Chain A
Amino acid sequence: MIRVNHRNMDFYEGMTLKSLIKDLKYSFPTLMVKVNGELVPKGKYEETRIRDGDDINIIHPIAGG
């Protein structure tokens, strides 16, 4: 189990930050992503492996519309 934006989510082996964002269909172009409090730049999503128990924040920095 991992936490994404303070909600539980199933973990699977081989999960990366990029695959997680794709699974969630988070297509908004400007995301702020932290894994266990550490900011991860966009260029490193693919190489960032998610581990069981990780606490992830994926913030869409917008109150637009």
Chain B
Amino acid sequence: MNVTGVKDNVEKIKEAHKLLKRYEYTPGEIQRGYANKTLYINVSDNIIEAKEVPEEIKEKFIGGKGFGLWYLWNAVKSTTKWDDPENEIVISPGPIGGITQYPGAGKSLVVSLSPTTGSVIDSNVGGHFGPLMKFSGWDALEIQGKAEKDIVILIDGNKGVVEIYEAPLESLNSHILAEELTEIFAESEEDKRNISIVSAGEAAEHTLLGVLNFSFYDKRKKVQRLKQAGRGGIGTVFRNKKIKAVVVRYKGVKGDSNNPADVEKIKELGLKLHREIKELDKDQCRMREIGTAHLVEIMDDYDLLPVHNFKYGSHKDSRKIDSKVLVKKVVQGSPDGCWHGCSMACAKAAQDYELKTGPYKGHKVVVDGPEYETVGGVGSNCGIFDPDYIMECNFYCDTYGIDTISFGTTMAFLMECYENNIINKDITGGIELNFGNGDAAMEVLHQMAKGKGFGKIAGQGIRRIKKLLTESYGADPKFLNDIGMEVKGLEYSQYVSKESLAQQGGYALANKGPQHDEAWLIFMDMVNNQIPTFEDKAEALHYFPIFRTWFGLNGLCKLPWNDVEPVDNHMTDEPAKVPEHVENYVQLFNSVTGKNIDKKEMLLQSERVYNFQRVFNLKMGFGTREHDIPPYRSMGPVTEEEYLSREERYDKQLENILGLKPEEMSTAEKIEALRKYKYEQYEKLVDAVYKRRGWTEKGIPSVELMEKLGMDFPEVIRLIEKH
């Protein structure tokens, strides 16, 4: 056991369980990637039901995020708020999810109404839950309602049982809770690998930034490892429903559990990619060695690593937290995947990490990560170049159930507010929140978990903090809007987009808010200069969000698409698309489902769901142009120090592009001229993107587009016509 005392408590915890509902079912066989049933649970009334999955819904929404959007759409009204009982959490893996022959096929997609955006959010996550749930007989799990007391839900796919327990004694924090529930529900030591748990944590309950942890059992370390569905506060919704955990138990995962149409073809495709990874990864992205953290030094070199709330893109101390340092902290000793058969194996963990702060001070724990986003978010963006702080913060964010990206971006914003005297020690309760103060950031994090002190404010996320500081503390709203790195209420992920107009759009136009999983175009745009015109950028902002949506429909991880590339990829017409791997995915889909799609149909599958999500935003009172505007910090220098830090670059832009004479201008005048230009460029980009996507000038998908896509449901058309 890695968590002291868990075994001693298990009997007591188990005795306190009160069975509220038991539902028995006969698990069916998976047919070509689908169980053809979904599980509906209402925790208000302890209703458990099975629903059939109509063929039409499979055709139009495929699975994963598509299913999540469809079920949530039908569950909520336009007036539903995130904390209403009607709101749902939907978890679905998609038809390819669960295969073991092709890397990156164990993702779950989670969809809900977000506490921070007020609209629909989706988040993808590794761990074993999604595939084990599907093999237990369910393509999706819908959880609606609100329990009166804390509960745990069990899905046992071997026994054909779903149970809801009142569960008063379990810990809330995930690293302990996952161990407790594994001890309770695993039938033997060997059986622990068949358990996966979804949980949140104390901070998920007391902030709006909650994550869901999805576990997978690590046989070597004998511990449940945690992966996060991080964005948009779904963990907060989970705790608002008084759910402590959802446990799935399924024994019997095999290479053909998905019952695919052509398992031999899947093996052939997988073998080809395994060979690529084995031969090329060590010289390409080093995912097996260090995972996504390999990006730290690369982003620093290209002036893209966020520093001091995205003011700068590099820092002299960034090498203190780069992958070479972090790899020494990651003592796992061998590559590890978050689902069976993933040879990309980017999951990393530090074992026996001794905590220095908080309620578990002195405990030796396993820390999963850190990923690049965590290093950039809680580290460089807050000016904290201390690898031990990053590990500690990573651990506590995970176990408390808080998103490292939103935590990092929010703390960086608060630190800039502190350094500008917008907030002071009276407001922070004595915490000196300067950039670089890791102790202060940790204290705020522990306060978030308890829902006390300044942590209560910090845990609201940037959009609400801006409102509070403006209305109650007289802060300048313009400055806060400039430096508060959020769009639609979601905090930015960790890339500096100032010099890439396309990426400014990639962030601000994203359906759920500024997360880079829709489009990451910085190299194509800023570095390669491959998409110079508005039309070029619009084409990229059409293609990539559509293409990348497809991973989320199928339960796939994006990383094996382009974090390893065939040796001759650069010789292809469009190397950024990695055409050979796209073709792999087409064949993979056909080999699982028995269908016969081509690349065109693959993109259509995504385009249907992508536009449906945009209309879903419209349904919830968003989804129009005014919600697609980025903060100026993401586009250019807000402050004089920021301008002066890259003065030569910005002066050249004024001179060469605008024909101005910077030597005759004050810094304030130069900032204003650049700002005006950059916003004009952004508006032109938005016009071009909307046009390419078939949207109106207001950013609404046209009726013709939805008809052409076959997504012309009566409510969809009514909504569009109303606008």
Contacts and interface: CB of A to CB of B under 8 A. Distances in A.
Partners in one complex: yes
Interface of A: 5-7, 25-30, 32, 39, 57-65
Contacts of A32: 570, 575
Interface in B548-586: 558, 562-563, 565, 569-571, 575-578
Interface in B272-308: 283-286, 295, 297-298, 301-302
A63 B576 contact: yes
A16 to B, nearest CB: 19
Interface residues of B, number: 35
B158 interface: no
A62 B529 contact: no
A28 B527 CA distance: 11
27 contacts: A5-B528, A5-B529, A26-B302, A26-B527, A27-B297, A27-B298, A27-B302, A28-B302, A28-B523, A30-B283, A30-B565, A59-B528, A59-B530, A60-B524, A60-B527, A60-B528, A61-B565, A61-B576, A61-B578, A62-B576, A63-B519, A63-B520, A63-B521, A63-B577, A64-B558, A65-B295, A65-B516
Contacts, number: 69
B529 A6 contact: yes
Nearest to B519: A63
Interface centre among A27, A32, A60, A63, by most B CB within 10 Å?
Answer: A63
Given A5-B528, A60-B527, A28 B298 contact: yes
Interface string B163-181: 0000000000000000000
B487 interface: no
A28 to B, nearest CB: 6
B522 interface: yes
Contacts of B540: 63
A30 B530 CA distance: 17
A30 B298 CA distance: 12
- Per DSSP, chain A at the interface is loop
Interface string B503-538: 000000000000010011111100111101000000
Contacts of A7: 529
Given A59-B570, A60-B523, A61-B575, A27 B301 contact: yes
B214 interface: no
B520 A61 contact: no
A28 B565 CA distance: 13
A62 B523 contact: yes
Interface string B242-263: 0000000000000000000000
Interface centre among B565, B569, B575, by most A CB within 10 Å?
Answer: B575
A43 B302 CA distance: 23
A63 B495 contact: no
B570 A63 contact: no
B301 A25 contact: yes
Contacts of A30: 283-284, 565, 569-570
Nearest to B527: A60
Nearest to B280: A30
Nearest to A65: B520
B495 to A, nearest CB: 6
Closest 6 CB pairs of A and B: A65-B520, A61-B575, A32-B570, A60-B523, A63-B576, A25-B301
Contacts of A39: 571
Contact of A6 (B532, B577, B578): B532
Contacts of B479: none
Contacts of A25: 301-302
Contacts of B285: 29
B575 A59 contact: yes
A1 to B, nearest CB: 14
Contact of A64 (B286, B301, B563, B569): B563
B562 A64 contact: yes
B622 interface: no
Contacts of A6: 529, 532
B650 to A, nearest CB: 16
B542 to A, nearest CB: 13
Contacts of B569: 30, 61
Contacts of B528: 5, 57-60
Contacts of B562: 62-64
Contacts of B295: 65
A25 B562 CA distance: 22
Interface in B567-612: 569-571, 575-578
A57 B529 CA distance: 9
B544 interface: yes
Contacts of B284: 29-30
A29 B302 CA distance: 13
A39 to B, nearest CB: 8
Interface in B473-505: 495
B61 to A, nearest CB: 25
Interface centre among B540, B570, B576, by most A CB within 10 Å?
Answer: B570
Given A27-B297, A32-B575, A59-B575, A64 B529 contact: no
A61 B527 contact: no
Interface centre among A28, A32, A60, by most B CB within 10 Å?
Answer: A60
A31 B608 CA distance: 34
Contacts of B544: 63
Given A6-B532, A30-B565, A59-B575, A64 B520 contact: yes
A59 B297 CA distance: 19
A17 to B, nearest CB: 15
Nearest to A31: B570
Given A26-B527, A30-B569, A63-B519, 11 more contacts: A6-B532, A27-B301, A28-B302, A29-B285, A59-B528, A61-B569, A61-B575, A62-B523, A63-B540, A64-B558, A65-B495
